[in-house]
Amino acid sequence: METPGSPLERISGAPLRERWLDLEARLRAMPNVLIGFSGGADSALLAAAARRVLGRARVKACIAVGPSLPARELREARAFAARLDIELSEYPATEFSNPAYVANGPDRCFHCKADLFAHLARFAADAPPGSVLLYGGNLDDTSDYRPGRRAAAEAGARAPLAEAGLTKADVRALSRALGLPTADKPAQPCLSSRIPYGQAVTPEKLAAVEAGEELLAALGFREFRLRHYADPERGDLARLELTTADRDALLPEQRVKLAADLRALGFARMEIDPGGFRPGNLNSVLTPEVRFGFGERTQVEDHKIPKPTPNP
């Protein structure tokens, strides 16, 4: 039954309302929760739903602070937690102490998430008994290349959004119903995702990428990527992925200034990718054996995550 203050009346369609109630029921069955929080749309909805269902005392969110998290994202995560009165703990990420992470192979995300859940496990040791580790994976993630999900499975962490059958579109629709500021927030994967596989990830590269993307944000762009290609012979390349509208709106004089500003950040060259804005673009170099044979447990059996409907 709908509870006071529930967003049910603002959710369009019975199937989505049922999935929301499923999410609430799953959370209600948990004594306490510890959420790996990034401030993105998925983890924000999960944190907001947990806060509504369990109350403040039974919900804790944790965010890793390090070179791969843009300062803008950290500010927004803090503001979101304060707005919803969610306890947010910050800790220094330590993935750079792992040579496998720095080497930036196709399993980099596994090593990053393994670091995350190792920290969360330590937080859980000091949390009330029965605390459940959660993260913001949605159903769409289960059909994508997400090696971090294996780290989550090994840590015993759960993804209630996926378990309830919520897709990314559902996450955004529910976030609008709840009035969350993250409803239409563009996806913002960690800065390390801007470095091609096989090229080492360093704090210096990530700082240059972050500063370069701040230049793009200052131009009013919302969806973009700056890919960092190291080239010892010709100098590092900043390859920009922009939407068609943003690319067409970029004036010649703005391009000249942008190239100069990027040179000041250490990029010898700038290119605008003719393929446009493509989230996950760097995964295109991976073979099917790597993309679909990483050996990750999917948790479909463990927590009854619905299998995603294949794209036509």
Specify whether domain 8-187+291-303 bears CATH 3.40.50.1980: no
The domain spans of the chain are 8-187+291-303, 191-278
Q: How far is CA 267 from CA 90, 160, 215, 271, in A?
A: 32, 41, 13, 11
Q: Can you read off the two tokens belonging to residue 125?
A: 């040791």
Q: Can you read off the two tokens belonging to residue 273?
A: 């990718």
Phi-psi region of 237 (alpha: psi -120 to 50; beta: other; left: phi over 0): beta
Sheet containing strand 269-272, strands side by side: 224-229, 237-242, 269-272
* Locus of tokens 């804005």: 277
Average pLDDT over residues 122-140: 86
What is the fold, at CATH topology level, of the domain defined by 191-278? Answer: GMP Synthetase; Chain A, domain 3 (3.30.300)
Q: Measured in Å, how far apart are the chain's first and last C-alpha atoms?
A: 36
Q: Residue 3 carries which DSSP code?
A: P
Q: What is the pTM of this model?
A: 0.88
Q: Measure the CA–CA gap between 209 and 163, rounded to whole angstroms.
A: 34
Contact 45, 177 (CB under 8 A): no
Q: What is the pLDDT of residue 141?
A: 83
Interval 185-234: pLDDT, tens:
998 899 999 999 999 999 999 999 999 999 999 999 999 999 999 999 99
121-135, 200-214, 259-273, range with the lowest pLDDT: 121-135
Interval 79-127: pLDDT, tens:
999 999 999 999 999 999 999 999 999 999 999 999 999 998 888 877 7
